[in-house]
Each structure stands twice: as C-alpha cells, then as structure tokens.
Chain A
C-alpha cells in the first residue's frame, strides 16, 4: 500500500510517526510545562522546585515503570513464560547500586559506575540461573517457583540488619550530575534515553529471527522444539535480558528516590508490570508504555480529594482496589489490552473495507455483459 515513489526517509518515518511525535513531545515537555506555569525546568534557586520539576519526576517514574513493564512483557508477552518474581530483579538492582555507593569507599563517580555494573551482573546471573529452571518447570510450576524465590529474598532482606532491615538506608553519595535534588532535568533525559533504547532494543529483538523463535515458543513450545530449536536457550536469553533491564529500572528508581528499602523487592513491583502489560496489551510493542503511562499518570492525577456535593472521595487511596478491578475487567473482556484491541479493531475495519470493495467489484462485474464470475482473472 506504500506509495513507491516516496523517498526512503519518508518511508522510514511513516510507520513510526506516532512514536516520533511522542518522543518530540517528551523532549520538549519540561520546557512546555515551564513555559505554561512560569517555573523554570531547571528548578528554582539551584534546587529542584516548581511545577516543571514536579512533572519531570512523575514522568521519570513513568519511564522507570515503562522499562520494567517492557522487560516483563519480553518474558510474559513474547516468550509466554509467567513469572511472579520480577520485583526481585528490580529490587536487587536497587540494592546492588545503593550498597556499592553507601557501603564501599569508592566515592560517588566510581561507586556509581561499579554499582551499575554490579547491579546488572547480579541480576543477570540470578536471572540466568532462574531461567535454567524453566527446563524442568513449566507454566504454574515456574510461576510458583519465581513467587517463592522473590518472596524469600524480600523477607530475608526485609530483616537483614546490614541494610537496616525494613527501614532501608538513604543514598547521599551520588555524583552531582545524578543528584535528583540538583539536576532533575538531566535525570529526566537520562531516563528518557534509556526508555527509548529499551524500546528500540526490544522492537529490534522481536523483529529479528531470535524474536520470531521466542514468539514461536510462546505460541507452541513443543512445535518450536520439533522444528529443531533449542527452546531452553531462547528462554534463558529472554529471561536474562529482561532481568538486567528490570535491574536497570530498579537502579533508576533508587537514584530518583535517594533511598533503598525492602519495598522495592515487594510484590507491588511484580503486580505493577503485570497489570500494566495486560492493560496495555500483552505481546505488543507499544502496550507496556501505554499501560505504564496510563496507569501511573491516572494514579497521580486521581490521588486527591474529589468533592461531590457533600461526599468527599479520594480515589488515590483506593487506587490498588480500582487497579485490581480494572485488571479483572481487562482480563475478562479485553484480553488483548488497549493496543491489542485497537490493532484488531483496525484490522477488522480494514477487512470490512476490503470486503465491501470486493463486493462492489463483483457487482460491477456481474452486471457487465459477460458476467461469468468464476473465470474472472484477479484484479
């Protein structure tokens, strides 16, 4: 359907225009908010204050959740493996970075670098070992295994005296550039770039031969094996990659919050990406981003008191309940999520248009002088 005479640049841009427009908007976003509200996007008086900075931090949270959800979708949506322990990787990344910064004498710059590497390596190794277990445990069994493992790590670290048990510890050794109270705008762009890289990487992976095998495993693992693929190797690749991405999201979270505590290992960070994946669209490229942005922004916007006559309702306080009910409704009624439902609606519409055209063509043919339908050449 593409016009063949268009330039290669236009052909590259056309299918991506919605993403590019969104990216342009996100790049300009802090400045737009700053321009509307009059608060500088760089903060006021050298400190991170004002509306623009406030919205930057909300969007950084969205980016973190989007990376976490995209990584979960890689396992859940594209490989068909259900894991209930994704929070473990998020939290371990955060703990690895926080402990390297606070518990070693490396200083802020070297500490950040070593901490990032440590977090990714630890999450990658544990993800790799967990993934090997899929050789024997399928479906429910793997879900139980990951749930038990994640819960065990969360309980143990939640009572570990070294990291102050359930209180956690603050992070004050940070390079100036990564200090969220000083340079929020820089962190905003770092998070944006990481989100874009994750997005492009996953899209490239899914459209590569490797990604095709992952989808084949999701659809029917026995068949993928019968064709001759070593499915374990592909599952290990997918889970290990997703674990390191989740650890990256956890490290971003810890830098933004400037605090490490056992809540980042809690089941919330398993439930959130699960809900966001399903509501956005399981096994779609854009779904996780829409899910993460939609859910997190609505949570932040609805978290205030609404007055209906004499009744005061704070929707934010019952947010998890609303989220759970939304989740059940989506699973029951729209299992493809926002993006999947939209895509299938579009496909249906396209099919209907094509059918109507075919019908018109048929009518034109049959009303013609020599209307033999069965021997018409294809048009």
Chain B
C-alpha cells in the first residue's frame, strides 16, 4: 500500500514537473494548451500500440518487435481503402469508418496467424522468440514496401470526410477537430480496456495469468488460447491506431520503428505487464514529446532532432534508473 502511494506521488511529481516546464517555456497560455493537446494526441496513439505490447509481455513474456509494423500496416490499409477508386461512390464519412474496420480486422487476423503459426511453437525456445518477432518485423516492412512502394503518402484534403476538415480556434491557435476526436477515442479505449480487464471473466483470467500463468493453467484454464486472443487483439488495436492516425500522419515506411520505440518506452516506463502503468506511461511520454518539440522549436534553439530522440532518451533513462518501471514488479 505504501509502495503504491509513493508510486502515485512519483507520477504526480513527474506530471507536475513536465507541465510546469511546458508552461514556463511556452509563449502564451494558448500555445501551451495546444502543446498539451498535441501531447495527448501522441499519448492516444502511443497507447494504442503499447497496450497490446504490455499485456502480451505480462502474460507470456513475449515482446513483439513487430508491433510498430502493425501500426504502419493499419495506416497503409486505411489509406489504400479510403483512396480506392472502387469505393469512391460511397460517402467519405462512411468510407473512412469502413477503412478503419478493415484495417483493424486485417491487423487482428495477421496477429492471430503470427501467434498460432510462428510464436506458439517457440515457447520452448525463448531465446529465439525475441529474434523471431524482429524477423517478422522485417518481413512485414518489406512486404508493405513491395505492395505500396517507399513513397510517403499524405492524405488528400479534397474529397475528405467532413470532421477531418473542421478546425477550431483556441486562444488564437488552430487545432483540428479530428485530432480532438482521436484523443477522445484513445481515452475511451483506455477506459474500455480497463473495464474489460476488471469486469469480465476473460479479463480476470488475463490478470491472473499476468500474475502467475502456471497457476492459472493448473486451475484448468487454457492460458495459451487466451493468450492467442490477447495477442490478436493487441495487433488489431495497433492497426486501429495506425488507421485513425492515417489522416494526419499519412503512411510512410519510417513510422513503424518510431512508434515501436515510443511504445516500448511507454511500456517500460509504466512497468512491463502493468496496464495502468501503460496508460499513465503513454500520457507521460506523449506529453514529453510535445513539450520537447515545442521547446526545441524556439528560434534560439531550433533543433528539430530532439522530439524524435525523446522516446529513446526516456527509455534509456528508465532502464538505467529503474528497469522495472513505475508500476512493474521487480524481477
């Protein structure tokens, strides 16, 4: 209990420090508000990639290095379907949700096949499991390059769905309604997955499995089957993240490794296998990226490299100072 309370104190301190730094270095309240919003947007996307990563690791000690590629896959599929000629007659406002559904479903199916076909036979050889997902990441990246080429796709503004084009003004700063929408989706999913883990039977099995999977197995529950489901769900969630991010991030071959490292930073910061850690970690990492981006874009510094380095720096610091993360168990 005491340990829990001190963790909450540390988290509160981190948030306060981060926000205070952002507020002090911001030009105006308005630009600070926008920084916080873009940080939350990053957090929502990171959470979608990281939540699958975290639960899967907690359950079976598998770190899926291809998780970032599922995010990229989702972005490409959504992009391709939204801009497909055959679907053009459908109203864009309907076409976009269809594209998202297809992307998430493909991600889930690919994840299912990956777990059943490649990961399951390797439980007896954990040393190889780690390098296997690395190989799967290569294959997915190269397959995407073979299908869609290496060019960066940017979302066309003509014939787009209506919410994407709406912009609001806050303290003289522009921000897209669609981004707010994505933040809300991220928050909603955070709550939804938490409810799934706390209130449903399968959620209880997952949490028990994270604690001690051998014991759950001994109680007559097929942890492997639950794990396959969780793995596929995590992949679908990452693809969903890529899908909702496609309208503003587009689709490019570089997005996989950026989001993988961001998500790994989130998971390690929160503590591998801890769900609330992942939720809080994604907000922390997202806000840090946005605040660092804002701070280093000031004219007297003007170095655009730091926001992309932020996840790695955070990751390295956490690994050096407290490898178990904020909410993780000491191994």
Question: Which residues of A pack against B, CB within 8 Å?
Answer: 80, 82, 84, 133, 136-137, 139-141, 143-145, 147-149, 151-152, 155-156, 159, 267, 271, 274-275, 278, 318, 320-321, 323-325, 327-328, 331-332, 335
Contact = CB atoms under 8 A, between A and B. Distances in A.
Given A148-B261, A159-B305, A267-B257, A332 B319 contact: no
B139 A321 contact: yes
A151 B135 contact: no
B319 A137 contact: yes
A16 B19 CA distance: 66
B312 A136 contact: no
Most buried by A among B63, B304, B311, B312: B312
B92 interface: no
A328 B268 contact: no
A318 to B, nearest CB: 6
Contacts of A147: 261, 264
Contacts of B122: 331-332
Interface stretch (B31-39, B126-134, B190-198, B228-236): B126-134
Contacts of A278: 131
Interface string B245-268: 000000000000100010011001
A332 B309 contact: no
Interface string B213-246: 0000000000000000000000000000000000
B128 A145 contact: no
A145 B317 CA distance: 10
Contacts of A159: 304-305
A328 B305 contact: no
A373 B232 CA distance: 59
B76 to A, nearest CB: 16
B113 interface: no
Contact of B142 (A136, A145, A318): A318
A144 B125 contact: no
22 contacts: A80-B127, A143-B63, A147-B261, A148-B311, A152-B313, A152-B316, A156-B305, A156-B309, A267-B257, A271-B134, A320-B138, A324-B138, A324-B139, A324-B142, A325-B139, A327-B138, A328-B132, A328-B136, A328-B139, A331-B131, A332-B118, A332-B132
Size category of the binding interface on chain B: 35 or more
Among A137, A148, A321, A328, residue most surrounded by chain B Cβ atoms (within 10 Å): A148
Nearest to B311: A148
B93 interface: no
A275 to B, nearest CB: 8
B319 A144 contact: yes
A79 to B, nearest CB: 12
B143 interface: yes
Given A144-B264, A318-B146, A335-B125, A136 B135 contact: no
Interface string B98-116: 0000000000000000000
Contact of A82 (B130, B138, B320, B323): B130
Contacts of A323: 138
B315 interface: yes
A222 to B, nearest CB: 13
A133 B320 contact: yes
Contact of B135 (A139, A145, A152, A324): A324
Contact of A144 (B138, B309, B313, B315): B315
Residue of A156, A318, A324, A327 most packed against chain B (CB within 10 A) = A324
